Structure formats: structure tokens, C-alpha cells
Amino acid sequence: MTSHPPIARILSTGLFTPPNSISNDELVESYNGFVDQWNAAHPDDEPKTHSSAAFIEKASGIKSRFVMDKAGILDTQRMRPKLPVRGDDEISIMAEMALNAAREAMTNADLGPDDIDAVICAASNMQRQYPAMAVEVQSALGIGGFAFDMNVACASAAFGIRTAIGLIQTGARRVLMVNPEICTAHLNFKDRDGHFIFGDVATAMIIGGPDDDGAGSFDILDAQLITQFSNNIRNNMGFLDPATDSVINLDDAGTDKLFKQRGRSVFKEVVPMVSEFIANHVDQLGIQSDQIRRLWLHQANLSMNQLIAKRVLGHDPDTDEAPVVLDEYANTSSAGSIIAFHKHRSDLQPGDIGVISGFGAGYSAGSIVVRAN
């Protein structure tokens, strides 16, 4: 057990899981139906190839994903979620998801709105430019202080935790961080290489000061961040689109207004970057690899996580050491490591050490070293 003093504490977490799930078989049946229709309608073009549920599970470890709308995604004439427009005076869908997770986190920590001084909405997509999603969540919960949004793609939650620590060090008592992710809205379901990657979810976390008590809390020993520019994961949708006459071509599997990636390159480049980053971080804290009880890693690809965990721990990890949620949830961007932490931490003993790590586009990565109380 390391005697390293905490710089902050994780007091609780919350999770909102959408009610609908899509299995690989259902997704592939829909994709293949779309392909058959497309090939029939484009006899002079190179025919598109069917997808395969066996490939998806083998290449990614994903078996299913939760989604905010199932029917629109599986409709071969649509191939994208159908989310009704809400009026400006209604709660917006991302805020609603975040609230569900936030309320659970507040209940779990036995904290009310008066106990929290700031709200961060950290996610890889915001449904509008402003007002900030975080301010809407803050208002709906009746929290004082201030709130703001931040986006560092799949590393958003890790960057959110580091930012919350900074706010606590400069006077906030407790910070609520929410991570509503509607990843299916930026996923191109007509793209065979990636149509299976993402799911929807929202997570929440309450971070307090190092002396904040609370049963089941985790000390944060340190938090480090890193970024390194790469074009291998990119989404070019933006507020300049109307000014540049850019349009989303919804018939185009290659549109760059949705998520696109060079998956192989991401794999090859992110594994060494993240494993060295985490290993150096724990080393700086005087923690040996055999003292790390658990890694709650970003959930994008099973082999990638196994390789990162192997390089950090020095041996092949089991699911007790590196829990997996992407089989059921798929890649939920910034929320993935927080779902893993939410579901797989209650068995840790006081003094056990673990690392929460989010990583993804940018490239960007965060390493949060924690210790169970």
C-alpha cells in the first residue's frame, strides 16, 4: 500500500443505460439488407460487401450496444437514429441522459445540489454550440456555482476529472462531471469498416477534496494528461459548414462529416503511447506494476486493451485486472472507462490501487491513479 497523499477523492459514480440494445446479428442483418438494396440500385458500380457478426466480435470484442433509438438505425432506408426535435423549452436529450446518471451519483454519495459547486459536461459531441449542456444540467439539478462543457473526444472524462481536481484545488468543494454520449449519432451505419463500433450511454462522477469523507470513496493520487496530434480519428462536422457550403451527404458511406478512422493505425500508435504513458505515471508515483490491482481502460477494442494492460502490468491480464464492458456497451467514447469503474470497483479492498484511463482522438489520453478507501 502506497502512503502517497490524495489530491482529491472520487465520491461516487452514476450510470444511465438506454433501454434498447442492438446485437451484432441484428446490426449485420440491417447492414446487409442495405447493401443488397444499394447493389440492386447501382448495377454499374462496384458492389458493396456484406458485413459479418463473427468478424465484428473477433476484431473488436463487441457483442451488442445500447442505443437511444433502435428503429431508425436498423431501418435499411434510413441507417441512422431518429431522435425527435425537442423545443427550446424542453429538456434536451443529452441533458436528460446526463441527469439520470447525475441523480444516481448524487444519491450514491448522499449529496444534494447545495453540496456541489460546479458541473462539467465532458463528452465527445455536444448537441448544440450553446448554451452549454452543463449549464442546463446545473439548472435542472438546482446546483449553484458555475458549469461548462469540454470536449477531448474519448479522453473527455479523464480530462474532466483532471479539470475537476483543479477546480477543487482553487476553491470548489465538490464537482459533478457528466458524460452523456450519443455516439450512434456520429457513426456512419453505412460504413462496413466501422458500423459496429459505437453505442450510447451517460455516466456521472462526483469529485471532492482529499479530506471529503464518504464510504466507498476512492483517493485520487495523481492525474496526468497527454495529447499528440493525429488525423487518424477525425470528424469534420463543424459550425463553419454552412459558411463553407459543406453538406452531409447521407448517401455517402465515405462522408467526413461523421466519425472516420484508420483503425489499424490507431491500434498501432495508441497502444504504445498509452501503455508507456500509464507505466511512466505509476512509476513516477513509486508504484510497482505488481501493486496495480485494476485498470479501468477506455473501451474501444478488446485486443487493444489487453495489449495495453499487458504492457502496464507485465503479464497477460484477466478480466478481473482489466474489466471489459465493451462486449455489452460497445465503444461509448469518454464514458467507457467510467462505466468500467462504476461496475467493477466494489470488490476492491482499502489500499488497493488502480488506474482509470481514457484515450482516443487527438490523440489524447488521461491517466488517473486511484486508491480504494
Q: Which residues are catalytic?
A: 154
Q: Which three cell numbers stand for residue 31?
A: 447492414
Q: Which amino acid is at 111?
A: L
CA distances to 310, 340, 344 from 319, rounded to whole Å, are: 12, 11, 10
Cβ proximity to ligand COA: between 115 and 328 the closer is 328
Site string for ligand COA, 222-251 (x = CB under 6 A): -----------x------------------
Q: Which three cell numbers stand for residue 135?
A: 449549464
Q: Which three cell numbers stand for residue 79?
A: 441507417
Return the bridge partners of 184, or none: none
Site string for ligand COA, 299-338 (x = CB under 6 A): -xx--x--------------------------x-------
Among the listed ranges 100-108, 204-212, 260-268, 337-345, the one in contact with ligand COA (CB under 6 A) is: 260-268
Among the listed ranges 37-45, 129-137, 243-251, 263-271, the one in contact with ligand COA (CB under 6 A) is: 263-271
CA distances to 118, 149, 329 from 266, rounded to whole Å, are: 34, 26, 20
Cβ proximity to ligand COA: between 108 and 124 the closer is 124
Span 192-211, contacts to ligand COA by CB under 6 A: 192-193
Task: Indicate which single residue of 2, 20, 39, 52 sits in contact with ligand COA (rule: CB under 6 A).
Answer: 52
Nearest approach, Cβ of residue 117 and ligand COA (Å): 31
Cβ proximity to ligand COA: between 62 and 109 the closer is 62
Q: Does 267 bind ligand COA (CB under 6 A)?
A: yes
Among the listed ranges 113-121, 130-138, 221-229, 297-305, the one in contact with ligand COA (CB under 6 A) is: 297-305
CA distances to 27, 34, 117 from 194, rounded to whole Å, are: 12, 15, 40
Integer Cα distance of 33 and 189 in angstroms: 12
Rg of the Cα atoms in the chain: 20
CA distances to 114, 125, 262 from 230, rounded to whole Å, are: 42, 18, 11
Nearest approach, Cβ of residue 56 and ligand COA (Å): 6
Nearest approach, Cβ of residue 207 and ligand COA (Å): 24
Cβ proximity to ligand COA: between 55 and 146 the closer is 55
Q: Does 55 bind ligand COA (CB under 6 A)?
A: yes
Q: Does 263 bind ligand COA (CB under 6 A)?
A: yes
Site string for ligand COA, 148-167 (x = CB under 6 A): ------x-------------
Eight-class DSSP state of 86: -
Listing DSSP states for 298-359 in one string gives --S-HHHHHHHHHHHHSS---TTTS---HHHH-B-GGGHHHHHHHHS-TTPPTT-EEEEEEE
Helix (H, G, I), strand (E, B) or coil at 218: strand
Integer Cα distance of 74 and 215 in angstroms: 43
Cβ proximity to ligand COA: between 221 and 308 the closer is 308
Contact 17, 201 (CB under 8 A): yes
Task: Name the helix (H) or strand (E) containing 64.
Answer: strand 64-67
Cβ proximity to ligand COA: between 109 and 154 the closer is 154
Among the listed ranges 33-41, 173-181, 259-267, 288-296, the one in contact with ligand COA (CB under 6 A) is: 259-267
Residue found by looking up cell 448517401 in the block = 251
Provide the binding-site residues for ligand COA, judged by CB under 6 A. 51-52, 55-56, 59-60, 154, 192-193, 233, 261, 263-264, 266-267, 300-301, 304, 331, 360
